[in-house]
Amino acid sequence: MTTMTFGRAINTGLRKAMENDPRVVIIGEDIGALGGVFRITDELQKDFGAHRVIDAPLAESAILGTAVGMAYRGYRPVCEIQFDGFIYPAFDQIVSQVAKLHYRTRGRVRMPLTIRVPFGGGIGAAEHHSESPEAYFTHTSGLRVVAVSNPQDACTVIQQAIASDDPVLYFEPKRRYHTKGDVDENALEDALPMDRARVEVPGTDVTLVTYGALVQTAREAARAAEDDGVSVEVIDLRSLSPLDYSTVEASVRKTGRLVVTHEAARTGGLGAEIAASLTERCFYYLEHAPVRITGMDIPYPPAKMERHHLPDLDRILDGVDRVLGRPNSLTGLED
């Protein structure tokens, strides 16, 4: 066990994956001498060489497209997208190539790519630097999507993602990069599989589902609710595609109440899928319609407005009140 930051934990996971398999290469912008704008690849080029930690020219479609070509030849490329909002130039390669090649070739060609995406807001950044594009990818068949919430998972899940023969989008909550935690670097073997959710805080009254940066906020909400006599079960999804319905379903059958929270816009966000699926699976157990606490249906706003956009402790607690039928901000409004 070592105490390290979230960012260092990813770095450690990358390093282990590179040590274990010479076919792992990293490609991205500014990942070499600089070590990435967030220093996630710090020292890796120095230690593994410029052929395995590849500073790419400034073109995201090419980063993904050349990684596809490397995968054809048996490599396991890890692509770094510098910020969430810069993934769109690569969208075509991800959706039409990375996601479909295994299917297209009837399983002959594997696409064991990992696509690292620092995502989410709360860092006071400029436009395109705070987005939550995960729902575009969870709607894309052929991809796996994960989001990590703590240093230990960051370290193990990146290794699992790289080891996966399917392409994996690995979302990193950038505002937690400096959070510290204990990390067992050798936890890989008995680690929870990448596609399983984890009950973070057990509880009995309300199921609170989230992922990424908001897991920490959800924990805080559970603590605050507890003071108020409400027992909230917090689930960290970890895998956004496939969703681990069995874990969530077991919880909702117990609590009868579901709150989902994410930073992405509400319309068509992951919350919609989770609410719809859990309603299908647990309709007769539900005491209240699932409640979604999400980002607004707006382009990511300027830094000084983001606190109104992002779900926070109070908004989540308001959602908990809502799903419990307690007085809340919408009381009296037909909802």
Partner 1 sequence: MSLPGTDPTGPLNDESYIQLLAPDGTRITSAEFDPWLEDIDGDRLAGLYEDMVVVRRLDQEATALQRQGELALWPPLLGQEAAQIGSGRALRKDDFVFSSYRENGVAYCRGVDLTDMIRVWRGNRPSGWDPYEINMATPQVIIGAQTLHATGYAMAAKFDGDDAVAVAYFGDGATSQGDVNEAMVFAASFQAPVLFFCQNNQWAISEPVGLQAQGKLSDRAPGFGIPSYRVDGNDVLACLAVTRKALDHARIGGGPSFIEAVTYRMGPHTTADDPTRYRDANELEDWKRRDPIDRLAALLSAEGLLDEALRQRVQQAADDAAAEMRAGCINMAEPGDLELFENVYTAPHPVLARQRQHYERYLDSFEAAEWGH
Ligand X SMILES: Cc1ncc(C[n+]2csc(CCOP(=O)(O)OP(=O)(O)O)c2C)c(N)n1
Chain centre distance of CA 47: 28
Half-sphere exposure of 3 (CA within 13 A, CB side): 2
Residue from the set 4, 44, 56, 282 that interacts with partner 1 by CB under 8 A? 56
Contacts (CB under 8 A) with a copy of itself, residues 296-325 = 296-299
Is residue 268 within the footprint of partner 1 (CB under 8 A)?
no
Cα dist from 104 to 71, 96, 142, 154, 306, whole Å: 15, 10, 11, 31, 41
Contact with partner 1 (CB under 8 A): which of 106, 190, 227, 284? 106
CA distance 69 to 212: 30
Stretch that binds a copy of itself, among 38-46, 47-55, 90-98, 157-165 (CB under 8 A): 90-98
Strand 239-241 relative to strand 144-147, pairing: antiparallel
One symbol per residue from 235 to 274: x for binding a copy of itself (CB under 8 A), - otherwise; what is it? ------x-x--------------------xx-xxxxxxx-
136 touches a copy of itself (CB under 8 A): yes
Rounded CA-CA distance 312/200 in Å is 18
Out of 58, 289, 298, 305, name the contact with ligand X by CB under 6 A.
58
Q: Does 139 bind a copy of itself (CB under 8 A)?
A: yes
Examine residue 135 and tell whether it contacts a copy of itself (CB under 8 A). yes
Which residues 174-233 are close enough to bind partner 1 by CB under 8 A?
A: 195
Rg over CA atoms, the chain: 20
Look at residue 168 and give its three-state secondary structure.
strand
Return phi, psi of residue 232, to 5°.
-105, 130
Nearer to ligand X, 84 or 236 (CB): 84
Nearer to ligand X, 99 or 183 (CB): 99
Does residue 312 interact with partner 1 by CB under 8 A? no
CB of 115 within 8 A of CB of 167? yes
230 binds, among ligand X, partner 1, a copy of itself, none (CB under 5 to 8 A by kind): none
Q: Does 29 bind ligand X (CB under 6 A)?
A: yes
71 phi and psi angles, rounded to 5 deg: -65, -35
Q: Which residues bind ligand X (CB under 6 A)?
A: 29, 58, 60, 82, 86, 89
